[in-house]
């Protein structure tokens, strides 16, 4: 009886000890003058609890259980700091943050299931956040990322643009939002916009090089992950948020957005609303590009629950936009006497076309760090998107083509405990189902159903100075095509199966804590789309007649990367070279024919009607290099240089691939302190003479952008104002990746003013 009482008392004492909570208190100061910093973001990583400092630099987090924790301190314009803290702790902790542009503690999550430091990754990565995101933010995601190392922009005016990574674009670059696919048609055609405004992004991350291992088909060239707070990842201890407004003169754009965060106990809530309107943009030659206007709006609401074993959350979002497909103005290329641009390049055979699209989306997240057995953690991401897209004749309002897309996707992954010393890994299952419909007199493909399922694993082994990463993925894709009659041609029903096995092997050698070498070899794949398989009609938005090919095979890419990283406290250098060997590369090739439905024999060689393009395959090589060097001359003054080059060739016939980015160089000096920043970005782009058949070469150009901004403290709130002048010298130039370069210049001088209120 006595022993049972003693045991009961021990259990009671133990329970009380672990149920007892404490207060975590500290102060954050600027290292240069010990002044307090307001609005520093503090996250207790293990508890997913967050807060921010007040006007005196003090932060307080209540109800913290006994344990050891890691706190992350991040602040715009300052280097991120991590602090380990044991609770209980009666002393107030003091944290000093240092200003600077080289942040060595930035963790990229895309393609990084082990959450290791960026210097230990075997692939090239990029992150845009904090001050850089404030300065670079544009009208869309592609514009924000353009001129980053290895990243270009394929545009169809300002409203419609898509990122290009190392010469890969459209279906070969996967755009994600918080790790799941967008669920739109932006990857199928240059005139289809991305169904995300980008104004709500907390961070943009890019994984360059083959990435099918974790993300599946369509990631041959790389992955772009738009990270938002749609499902909150921590509990704020107060109501906070921000309001953004911006305006640009080149297209009379006005944009506004608002974000709100709130937390109660173990629950977190987030809401967002945005609206963007713009008129036709003005080209560098002073000519307005007709039908290049846009109007869009959207909102999002999400909530998370943080029990002791992990996190669960839901979100709903809505996105709507209407934009025009640019057409040749009556003035044409005023002042351009270099070439004669024919009327055949004018878009639209029946007048200008507007595109209306909308998307409704539900997302679910569940993560647990207490799974048991051989597992450390479990992650479930799932989503459903319903997307609608209409191509409308502007003058009559008639719908030429209407697309519908319903997408279901889920990714379930487990992080397992070390099987042997220093070996950790992740394995998972991916499921994808998509229903595609197309209606209207101008429908150019049949309907289609897609289904994909995959299993994958990724492992990491550390030994000495080496970090070895390897993995494999098997994926099955099924495309079901019903019979259809298009443009007077009967297309039979067919089911296409595409099975793929991808694998990767990467090695990082840390010569010192600051210098590392990396290499990676990976194969990736892509299943053909319904447009590539079964098009046989006029595509009004691109003013072409497209012909598909049911005999197309899986695209395959064997990619080899090698590089060097130098990451010191005041400077950073990353140089990487790559070589991609493509099998069954799919591309739209001009046939030399024209299509005129009014003629008895619609196909002709007499330049009457619309140009005819056909999807074909061949072997290809894409290779190049990229360099980013960043140096802090003083605490406040830094300089960044970026160089990139890519070459794409059809290796079987020794011809150049179409729409390859030219050689580029940029240099950016910047001054930034705690309250003020300004800088200049000088961009040089070379001639592009390595062009495909029927593709026009383009001349090189130079652009100068300047920006200036300030951060103003007002009570417990901040006002951030940024002014940027793009193409300051009002250069008239054609970007080689522009889909409308034959009849329209890129935007002229643009002044963009943005204001952000943080509360």
Same domain, residue pair 355 and 405: yes
CB 525 within 8 A of CB 500: yes
Q: Is residue 7 part of a domain?
A: no
Same domain, residue pair 736 and 650: yes
Q: Cα–Cα distance between 684 and 548 in angstroms, integer?
A: 38
Give the model's pLDDT for residue 110: 85
Beta-carbon contacts of 499 under 8 Å, excluding residues fewer than 6 positions away, are 474, 475, 476, 477
Q: Is residue 401 part of a domain?
A: yes
Give the model's pLDDT for residue 317: 96
Give the model's pLDDT for residue 7: 40
How would you label 261-278 residue by residue, b for 16+ Cβ within 10 Å and e otherwise?
Answer: bbbeeeebbbbbbbbbeb
Same domain, residue pair 82 and 178: no
Identify the domain boundary among 35, 64, 97: 97
Does an H or E element contain 148, and which? none
Instruction: Quickly list DSSP for 16-58.
Output: HHHH-EEEEEEEEEETTT--B-SS-EEEETTTTEEEE--TTSE
Our count of domains for the chain comes to 2
Q: Is residue 459 part of a domain?
A: yes
| 674: its two tokens | 């705690």
Q: Is residue 284 part of a domain?
A: no
Same domain, residue pair 623 and 547: yes
Give the model's pLDDT for residue 3: 42
Same domain, residue pair 78 and 213: no
Which CATH number characterizes residue 52's domain? 2.60.40.1120
Does an H or E element contain 593, and which? strand 571-595
Same domain, residue pair 141 and 238: yes
CA 46-49-55 angle, to 5 degrees, is 130
CB 79 within 8 A of CB 98: yes
| 162: its two tokens | 């898509």
Q: Cα–Cα distance between 706 and 679 in angstroms, integer?
A: 6
Q: Which domain holds residue 331?
A: 119-277+302-758
CB 621 within 8 A of CB 656: no
Give the model's pLDDT for residue 492: 92
Does an H or E element contain 631, and which? strand 610-632
| 318: its two tokens | 């809505």
Does an H or E element contain 485, and which? strand 484-486
Separation in Å, CA 520 to CA 7, 431, 503, 585, 703: 57, 27, 11, 22, 34
Q: Is residue 503 part of a domain?
A: yes
Same domain, residue pair 318 and 391: yes
Same domain, residue pair 85 and 144: no
Q: Cα–Cα distance between 485 and 92 in angstroms, integer?
A: 75
Q: Is residue 438 part of a domain?
A: yes
CB 339 within 8 A of CB 175: no
Same domain, residue pair 675 and 550: yes
Separation in Å, CA 136 to CA 143, 148, 331, 501, 680: 8, 10, 32, 38, 12
Same domain, residue pair 428 and 506: yes
Give the model's pLDDT for residue 8: 40
Q: What is the pLDDT of residues 439-468, one digit of tens each?
A: 887 678 899 999 999 999 999 999 889 999
The backbone torsions φ and ψ at residue 239, rounded to the nearest 5 degrees and listed phi first, read -75, 125
Q: Is residue 330 part of a domain?
A: yes
Separation in Å, CA 414 to CA 49, 370, 380, 458: 24, 11, 9, 10
**Which residue numbers in the chain have pLDDT < 50?**
1-18, 333-349
Same domain, residue pair 67 and 132: no
CB 305 within 8 A of CB 266: yes
Which CATH number characterizes residue 378's domain? 2.40.170.20
Identify the domain boundary among 97, 130, 151: 97
Q: pTM for the complete prediction?
A: 0.87
Same domain, residue pair 92 and 125: no
Q: Is residue 405 part of a domain?
A: yes
CB 162 within 8 A of CB 738: no
Three-state secondary structure call for residue 218: coil
């Amino acid at each position: 009886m006595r022993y049972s009482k003693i045991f009961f008392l021990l259990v009671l004492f133990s329970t009380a000890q672990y149920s007892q909570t404490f207060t975590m208190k500290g102060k954050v100061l600027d290292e240069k003058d010990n002044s307090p910093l307001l609005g520093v973001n503090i996250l207790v990583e293990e508890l997913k609890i967050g807060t921010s400092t007040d006007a005196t630099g003090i932060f307080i987090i209540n109800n913290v259980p006994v344990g050891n924790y890691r706190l992350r301190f991040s602040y715009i314009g300052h280097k991120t700091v991590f602090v380990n803290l044991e609770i209980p702790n009666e002393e107030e902790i003091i944290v000093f943050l240092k200003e600077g542009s080289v942040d060595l503690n930035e963790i990229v999550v895309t393609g990084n299931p082990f959450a290791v430091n960026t210097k230990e990754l075997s692939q090239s990565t990029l992150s845009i956040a904090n001050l850089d995101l404030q300065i670079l933010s544009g009208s869309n995601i592609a514009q924000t990322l353009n001129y980053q190392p290895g990243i270009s922009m394929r545009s169809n005016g300002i409203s419609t643009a898509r990122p290009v990574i190392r010469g890969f674009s459209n279906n070969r670059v996967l755009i994600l939002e918080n790790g799941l696919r967008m669920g739109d048609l932006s990857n199928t055609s240059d005139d289809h916009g991305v169904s995300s405004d980008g104004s709500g992004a907390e961070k943009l991350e890019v994984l360059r090089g083959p990435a099918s291992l974790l993300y599946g088909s369509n990631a041959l060239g790389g992955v772009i992950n738009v990270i938002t707070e749609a499902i909150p990842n921590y509990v704020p201890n107060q109501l906070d948020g921000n309001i953004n407004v911006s305006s640009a003169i080149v297209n009379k754009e006005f944009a506004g957005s608002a974000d709100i965060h709130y937390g109660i106990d173990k629950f977190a809530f987030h809401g967002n609303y945005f609206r963007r309107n713009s008129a036709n943009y003005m080209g560098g030659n002073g000519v307005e590009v007709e039908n290049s206007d846009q109007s869009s709006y959207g909102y999002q609401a999400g909530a998370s629950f943080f029990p002791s074993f992990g996190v669960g959350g839901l979100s709903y979002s809505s996105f709507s936009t209407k934009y025009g497909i640019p057409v040749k103005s009556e003035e044409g290329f005023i002042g351009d006497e270099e070439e004669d641009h024919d009327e055949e390049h004018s878009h639209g055979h029946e007048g200008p076309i507007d595109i209306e699209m909308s998307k409704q989306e539900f997302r679910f997240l569940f993560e647990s760090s207490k799974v048991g057995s051989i597992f450390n953690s479990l992650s479930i991401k799932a989503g459903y998107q319903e997307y609608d897209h209409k191509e409308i004749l502007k003058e009559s309002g008639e719908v030429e083509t209407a697309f519908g897309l319903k997408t279901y996707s889920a990714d379930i992954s487990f992080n397992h405990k070390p099987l042997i010393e220093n070996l950790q890994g992740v394995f998972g299952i991916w499921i994808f189902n998509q229903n595609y419909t197309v209606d209207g007199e101008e429908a150019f493909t049949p309907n289609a159903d897609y289904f994909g399922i995959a299993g994958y694993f990724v492992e990491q082994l550390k030994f000495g100075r080496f970090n070895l990463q390897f993995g494999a993925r098997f994926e099955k894709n099924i495309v079901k095509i019903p019979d259809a009659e298009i443009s007077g041609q009967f297309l039979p029903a067919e089911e296409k199966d595409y099975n793929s096995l991808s694998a990767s092997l990467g090695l990082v050698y840390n010569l010192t804590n600051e210098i590392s070498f990396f290499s990676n070899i990976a194969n990736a794949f892509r299943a053909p789309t319904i447009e590539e398989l079964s098009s046989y009609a006029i595509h009004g938005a691109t003013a072409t007649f497209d012909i598909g090919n049911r005999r197309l095979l899986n695209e395959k890419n064997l990619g080899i990367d090698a590089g060097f990283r130098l990451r010191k406290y005041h400077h950073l250098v990353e140089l990487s070279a790559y070589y991609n060997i493509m099998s069954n590369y799919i591309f739209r090739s001009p046939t030399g024919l024209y299509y005129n439905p009014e003629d008895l024999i619609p196909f002709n060689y007499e330049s009457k009607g619309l140009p005819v393009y056909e999807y074909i395959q061949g072997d290809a090589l894409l290779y190049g290099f990229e360099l980013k060097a960043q140096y802090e001359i003083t605490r406040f003054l830094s300089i960044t240089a970026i160089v990139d080059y890519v070459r794409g060739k059809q290796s079987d016939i020794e011809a150049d691939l179409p729409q390859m980015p030219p050689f580029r160089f940029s240099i950016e000096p910047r001054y930034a302190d705690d309250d003020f920043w300004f800088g200049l970005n000088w961009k040089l782009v070379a001639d592009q003479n390595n062009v495909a058949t029927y593709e026009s070469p383009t001349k090189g150009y130079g652009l100068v952008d300047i920006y200036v901004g300030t951060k103003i403290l007002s009570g417990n709130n901040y006002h951030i104002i940024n002014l940027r002048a793009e193409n300051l010298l009002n250069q008239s130039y054609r970007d080689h990746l522009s889909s409308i370069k034959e009849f329209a210049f890129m935007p002229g001088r643009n002044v963009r003013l943005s204001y952000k209120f943080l509360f």
